[in-house]
């Protein structure tokens, strides 16, 4: 309710906010009886009772925070290996408009590659975190293998058996992620077209499975999920003759029906598609919904002042009432019905009486007049008009006009008439000023809006709350969501002047471009002004400095630990202070503190983030227990935290918990579940999982069949994602010809790329090529240089090979230097994979060992106790020298 401006004695009532409870209304009525001196008490009490009745009929309770609803709409048409599909890109464009009109935050994409899908799906999941309803709409190629449905990106070739795992998108993975984020899930698939792919059998977990020829398989949905298919299981859908597929066209049309539950919508879609295809295509859905899902909500009522006061003169003919035009905030048209006509006069519109029961268009309300006959109200009387506004969706609001009827006869009447005319002119002038000022408050504003902190108030400082002034959204932002605390705005929405100061915008995660928002500001149908402002999404400096890769609650691509700079702690402390309820910033502060070596403070920040619901923080705590960082090493506790993070869809958690289950690290082995988790993490783009899978498929572990070609497929996927470990491993495959044709030139390029990214083992890999003259001209000097780069990054094998290279010099060998490298190899061998380093070191005599130990001690910044055997002292000294040169183990 809004404040209403008024005049004279009756202003005590009208200038106060209309109460929204019986108690407040009764109190207001007592004030009226006691304080309105100019009116008879009984008449005023009667009027108050009438007002109360109409106000009570119009009470509406609004949720303080509108339910969050997010949709991801994909249309894949331009397939690179196969003929293009005619409709999907246009389907996606049309369906995305439908969801936007329904007030969803919409992510829309066409012709996605696998990598693009991963990136945009992660952004969508971040937006869907905690949502009431999460929707995925997909149009494009899809098919089934062994009862599993797959959606096909435009860059898929699917020529080899492993390709399905690294090139396609498993529908169940998508559904599981939605379940972990939202209360209700809806997946709509116009993807049942013929299978054009050349191969017929593919790897699925631990088996080769034959692909289905057409259609998708039935899906078992969990509670509160609806999955809709363009056609029945195992059947093919049609593109149709028009620009849209029959299914998408029917969905866009039917989904716009206001206040229709989705199962009713889908039934109507089914009827339309069956008719359009002469019964050849029958849409089908599988529902376990227990909550109602309404796509096009239309529950808001027309907006107008509930009570207005007007002075009307008798005997002067029709008098303009100057009532404001009612506004439907959902963008529909409004009609009016007279609920209680005035008793002392009659209503007129365009010179004709308004008949009771005859509807009036909302746009005509400002032209409504009242004609009080001569001789009526020789003394001042009180009268009332009550009317109801109706929108297209069944919404209704009551409006009340209280009349003070005065005589228009004689000099006093003329004086009152002149005063009223002057006041009307002044009101017109003021409203023009209001509209101009309102436009100036919006026009050319460029507001920075932080990403990932929820809806942000725009604080426009609007110059008027005149109930006659409204704003229609003429240009909705291309990305992101406009909202008020009680509702989400759509491209058809309007809002009142009194609401504009509460306008909010939430940028879309992953969208960086500045967006424009246009309004048409108006006071009636004849006067309006356009105004446009810009909203620029901004990333908080903490996200830029310490964001985590693949964080499904993050807003940036993220940094590896070694990329976090010294300024990150200060930046993230500022973010936590500004946004104390955003757990992501506490987690990123924990990462920054870890990088700075402040382990105890980091642990506290990460624990707080985990308590507040940040899933990656849960994984991070698990990693701290697994490595003994800031806590006692506890594999059981680590696994419990990994499992909790995996259950919430975190790819890091799925990788670590999957690795533990597959190998039996601190838990009873479960090879099948472990492999499944690693595959799910890889499907989310996690390269650590891809490298683990490559190792499993290269060797054939725990009953999983060895298949080097399958291993290579995962390593190639890791290289596509710029993973330096995948590059080094794939380079080795090209050197050995394992799973791929032998190609030293490609191996060299991969090793060099990995070296440039800081990979610790790639320098040693390339050094061996120069040492042995494989694919390059033999150069021991270049091999020596590369081995030493690897040593500086912590590679024990490079240290061992560098020692061997030194001893190959024969009489010119520096034995003390060889001893030093052997000691360093043993020191860096934390996984005990190089026992020959200790054994070879033991074969050297005391002289080179004494020289090497003396040299190492001289390089130390602090003294090292001289206890233990000479070999032990050498290894300890070498470890300390390396650690002092590399204070952060995570640098490489």
What pLDDT digit, counting tens, does each position of 127-143 carry?
A: 999 999 999 999 999 88
For residue 309, what are the β-bridge partners? 402
Q: What angle do CA 551, 675, 233 make, to 5 degrees?
A: 90
Compute the Cα dihedral for 261, 264, 266, 269 and give only its sign.
negative
Q: Is 399 helix (H, G, I), strand (E, B) or coil?
A: strand
Segment (H or E) for 825 = helix 815-828
If phi > 0 it is left, if psi is from -120 to 50 it is alpha, else beta; for residue 234 that is: left
pTM of the model: 0.85
Q: What pLDDT is stored for residue 8 in this prediction?
A: 32
DSSP string, 858-872: HH-SS-----S-HHH
Q: What pLDDT is stored for residue 528 in this prediction?
A: 82
Give the Cβ contact number of residue 672 at 10 Å. Answer: 15
CA–CA distance, 34 with 32 (Å, rounded to integer): 6
Give the Cβ contact number of residue 812 at 10 Å. Answer: 7
What's the start-to-end Cα distance of the chain, in Å? 61
Residues whose CB is less than 8 angstroms from the CB of residue 760 and which lie 6 or more positions away in sequence, other chains included = 790, 793, 794, 795, 892
Res 798 pLDDT > 70: yes
- % the chain with pLDDT above 70: 90
Res 56 pLDDT > 70: no
pLDDT class of 303 with cuts at 50, 70, 90: confident
* Average pLDDT, integer, range 612-624: 97
The values of phi and psi at residue 276, to 5°, are -70, -30
Average pLDDT of the chain is 87
Q: What pLDDT is stored for residue 265 in this prediction?
A: 96
* Average pLDDT, integer, range 288-308: 83
* Average pLDDT, integer, range 222-237: 85
Q: Please tell me which residue, 583 or 313, carries the higher pLDDT value.
A: 583
Q: Which of 112-121, 254-263, 350-359, 417-426 has the lowest mean pLDDT?
A: 417-426
What pLDDT digit, counting tens, does each position of 662-717 carry?
A: 999 999 999 999 999 999 999 999 999 999 999 999 999 999 999 999 999 999 99
CA–CA distance, 121 with 72 (Å, rounded to integer): 8
What pLDDT digit, counting tens, does each position of 733-754 carry?
A: 999 999 999 999 999 999 999 9
Q: What pLDDT is stored for residue 193 in this prediction?
A: 65
pLDDT class of 883 with cuts at 50, 70, 90: confident
Highest mean pLDDT, choosing among 138-152, 224-238, 509-523, 641-655 = 641-655
pLDDT class of 45 with cuts at 50, 70, 90: very low
Q: Return the exposure string of 773-805: e unless at least 16 CB atoms fall within 10 Å of the residue's CB, then b.
A: eebbeeeeebbbebbbbbbbbbbbbbbbbbbbb
Q: What pLDDT is stored for residue 524 in this prediction?
A: 66
The values of phi and psi at residue 697, to 5°, are -80, -25
CA 53 to each of CA 21, 49, 59, 347, 399: distance values in angstroms, whole numbers, following the listed order: 12, 6, 11, 22, 12
pLDDT class of 888 with cuts at 50, 70, 90: low
What ranges make up the beta strands (E) of 590-741? Answer: none
- Are 188 and 210 within 8 A, CB to CB? no
CA 638 to each of CA 687, 693, 703: distance values in angstroms, whole numbers, following the listed order: 21, 21, 26
CA–CA distance, 596 with 599 (Å, rounded to integer): 8
CA–CA distance, 798 with 785 (Å, rounded to integer): 11
CA 416 to each of CA 18, 452, 613, 618: distance values in angstroms, whole numbers, following the listed order: 28, 58, 66, 74
Q: What pLDDT is stored for residue 379 in this prediction?
A: 84
pLDDT class of 210 with cuts at 50, 70, 90: confident
Q: What pLDDT is stored for residue 40 in this prediction?
A: 41
The values of phi and psi at residue 775, to 5°, are 80, -5
Res 29 pLDDT > 60: no
- Tokens in use for 490? 């759509």
């Amino acid at each position: 309710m809004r404040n209403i401006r008024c005049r004279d004695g009756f202003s005590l009532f009208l200038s106060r906010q209309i109460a929204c409870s019986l108690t407040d209304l009764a109190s207001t009525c007592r004030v009226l009886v006691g304080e309105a001196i100019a009116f008879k008490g009984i008449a005023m009490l009667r009027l108050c009772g009438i007002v109360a009745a109409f106000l009570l009929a119009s009470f509406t309770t609004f949720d303080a925070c509108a339910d969050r609803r997010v949709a991801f709409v994909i249309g894949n048409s331009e397939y690179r290996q196969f003929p293009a599909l005619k409709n999907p890109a246009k389907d996606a464009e049309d369906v995305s408009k439908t969801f936007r009109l329904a007030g969803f935050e919409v992510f829309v994409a066409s012709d996605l590659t696998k990598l693009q899908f991963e990136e945009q799906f992660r952004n969508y999941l971040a937006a869907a975190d905690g949502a009431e309803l999460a929707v995925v709409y997909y149009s494009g190629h899809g098919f089934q293998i062994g009862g599993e449905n797959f959606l096909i990106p435009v860059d898929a070739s699917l020529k080899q058996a492993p390709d399905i795992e690294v090139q396609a998108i498993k529908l169940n993975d998508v559904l599981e992620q939605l379940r972990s984020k939202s209360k209700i899930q809806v997946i709509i698939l116009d993807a049942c077209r013929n299978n054009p792919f050349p191969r017929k059998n593919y790897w699925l977990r631990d088996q080769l499975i034959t692909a289905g020829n057409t259609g998708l398989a039935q899906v078992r949905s969990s509670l509160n999920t609806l999955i809709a298919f363009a056609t029945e299981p195992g059947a093919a859908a049609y593109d149709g003759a028009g620009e849209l597929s029959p299914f998408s066209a029917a969905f866009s049309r039917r989904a716009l029906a206001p206040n229709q539950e989705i199962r009713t919508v889908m039934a109507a879609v089914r009827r339309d598609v069956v008719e359009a295809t002469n019964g050849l295509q029958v849409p089908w859905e599988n529902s376990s919904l227990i909550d109602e899902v309404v796509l096009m909500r239309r529950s808001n009522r027309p907006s107008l002042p509930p009570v207005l006061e007007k002075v009307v003169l008798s005997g002067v003919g029709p008098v303009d009432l100057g009532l404001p035009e009612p506004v439907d905030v959902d963008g529909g048209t409004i009609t009016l019905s007279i609920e209680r006509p005035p008793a002392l006069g009659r209503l007129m519109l365009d010179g004709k009486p308004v008949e009771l029961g005859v509807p009036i268009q909302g746009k005509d309300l400002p032209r409504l007049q009242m004609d009080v006959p001569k001789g009526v109200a020789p003394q001042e009387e009180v009268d009332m008009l009550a009317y109801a506004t109706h929108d297209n969706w069944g919404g209704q609001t009551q409006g009340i006009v209280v009349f003070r009827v005065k005589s228009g006869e004689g000099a006093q009447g003329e004086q009152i008439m002149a005063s009223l005319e002057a006041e009307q002119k002044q009101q017109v002038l003021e409203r023009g000023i209001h509209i101009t000022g309102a436009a100036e408050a919006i026009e050319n504003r460029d507001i920075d809006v932080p990403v990932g902190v929820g809806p942000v108030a725009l604080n426009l400082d609007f110059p008027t709350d005149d109930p006659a002034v409204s704003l229609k959204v003429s240009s909705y932002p291309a990305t992101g969501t406009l909202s008020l605390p009680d509702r989400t705005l759509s491209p058809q929405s309007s809002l009142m002047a009194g609401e504009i100061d509460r306008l909010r915008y939430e940028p879309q995660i992953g969208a960086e471009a500045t967006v424009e928002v246009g309004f048409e500001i108006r006071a009636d149908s004849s006067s309006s002004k356009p105004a446009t402002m810009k909203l620029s999404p901004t990333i908080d400096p903490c996200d830029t400095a310490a964001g985590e890769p693949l964080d499904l609650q993050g807003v940036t691509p993220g940094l590896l630990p070694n990329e976090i700079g010294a300024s990150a702690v200060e930046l993230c402390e500022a973010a936590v202070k500004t946004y104390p309820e955003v757990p992501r910033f506490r987690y990123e502060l924990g990462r920054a503190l870890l990088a700075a070596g402040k382990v105890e403070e980091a642990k506290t920040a990460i624990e707080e983030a985990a308590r507040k619901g940040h899933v990656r923080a849960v994984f991070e705590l698990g990693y701290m227990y697994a490595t003994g960082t800031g806590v006692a090493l506890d594999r059981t506790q680590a696994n419990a935290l990994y499992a909790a993070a995996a259950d919430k869809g975190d790819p890091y958690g799925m990788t670590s918990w999957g690795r533990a289950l597959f190998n039996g690290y601190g838990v009873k082995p479960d090879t099948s579940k472990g492999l499944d988790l690693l595959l799910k993490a890889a499907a989310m783009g996690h390269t650590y999982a891809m490298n683990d899978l490559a190792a499993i498929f290269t060797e054939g572990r725990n009953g999983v069949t060895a298949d080097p070609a399958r291993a290579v497929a995962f390593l190639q996927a890791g290289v596509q994602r710029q993973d330096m470990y995948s590059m080094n491993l794939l380079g080795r495959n090209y050197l050995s010809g394992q799973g791929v044709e032998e190609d030293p030139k490609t191996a060299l390029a991969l090793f060099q790329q990995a070296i440039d990214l800081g990979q610790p083992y790639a320098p040693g890999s390339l050094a061996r090529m120069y040492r042995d003259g494989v694919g390059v001209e033999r150069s021991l000097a270049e091999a020596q240089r590369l081995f030493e780069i690897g040593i500086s990054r912590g590679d024990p094998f490079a240290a061992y090979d560098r020692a061997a290279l030194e001893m190959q010099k024969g009489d010119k060998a520096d034995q003390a230097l060889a001893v030093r490298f052997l000691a360093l190899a043993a020191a860096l061998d934390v996984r005990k994979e190089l026992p020959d380093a200790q054994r070879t070191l033991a074969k050297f005599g005391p002289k080179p060992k004494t020289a090497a130990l003396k040299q190492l001690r001289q390089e130390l910044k602090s003294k090292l106790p001289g206890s233990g055997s000479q070999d032990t002292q050498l290894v300890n000294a070498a470890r300390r020298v390396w650690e002092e040169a590399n204070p952060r183990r995570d640098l490489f």
